[in-house]
Structure 1
């Protein structure tokens, strides 16, 4: 692949799928600086991986997988340097009082942030409407494992919601 073709593809994909990539970044990085750093790592990996794209899946699915992998690796790498016992700040009030959709979204992202890397990825895929089969393929787990993990998260989310109410 010649350099100009690679650059053209990169520019097109980034323009078309920047929001998708940033959504994944937001699930793994919580400060503006960390989000910026992680986004740069994701974009760099996308650029490096363009010659490896085999058109076996949709571009968006392939880019999503790259972003998930980079997010998981980044989380592992940064956890080595950060204290793990810092409590998450409480951002939103009781769920019932959340009239504004943005507050509910913030609360949901808070809950997702508390999951381990694989469960976090799975939850993002679920929210984006991927099928169990697609999620299993992307994460390298079985469809039944996808179902089990999703049900566990839903039950845990309901418990957390009940505690706040």
Structure 2
């Protein structure tokens, strides 16, 4: 693959699927700084993996697999690192109040609760939920995760139930 082809393919992928990278990173990180680091790691991994892209799966399916595998690898390394090192204080980027005020703040809170619950799922279930939230078909989810379509249905049903329980616990003030 030539440098121009690679750059064109990467740019096309980023234009169409950059939001998916942010969703994956958000589900596997706790802080804005970690999220930025993971996004950079995913983008780097996609870029360096592009010469190996054979076109057997769609570009979005292939890149999702790269993004999820990168996030899972990063999550494991980060978990081990955090076990050895504790930050003095976690600093999050302040939320943008937005033009809608209270309604926008309520929506942001709901999204934050959802991502917090997704982070509490086992990593494979979190990946499946992210694919579902991104409106991938069962066939596409199966391709990304390397499992059968029927297994996607079973695992997704279990993950949705677990996610519902986590959200219910969270809304009742339990963790």
What is aligned with 2:109? 103
Q: Is the 8 A contact 2:129 2:160 kept in 1?
A: no
What is aligned with 1:67? 67
Give structure 1 stretches of 5+ with no counterpart: 87-97
RMSD across aligned positions (CA): 2.5
Using the alignment, how far apart are the partners of 1:16 and 1:105 within structure 2? 22
What is aligned with 2:147? 141
TM-score (norm 1): 0.80
- Following TM superposition, by how much is the alpha carbon of 1:63 offset from its aligned partner in structure 2, in angstroms? 1.4
What is aligned with 2:47? 47
TM-score (norm 2): 0.76
Q: Is the 8 A contact 2:113 2:167 kept in 1?
A: no
* Mapped pair 1:17 → 2:23: no
- Deviations 1:60-91 (CA, angstroms, capped at 9, x unpaired): 2221111111001111111112239x9xxxxx
Using the alignment, how far apart are the partners of 2:142 and 2:73 within structure 1? 19
- Map 1:85-164 onto structure 2 (within 5 A): 100-163=106-169, 164=171
Using the alignment, how far apart are the partners of 2:78 and 2:8 within structure 1? 32
Q: 1:33 to 1:46 in 2, by over 3 A?
A: same
Q: 1:158 to 1:19 in 2, by over 3 A?
A: closer
Aligned pair count? 154
Q: Which structure would you say has the larger RCO, counting Cα contacts within 8 Å and 6 or more residues apart?
A: 2
Using the alignment, how far apart are the partners of 2:56 and 2:30 within structure 1? 32
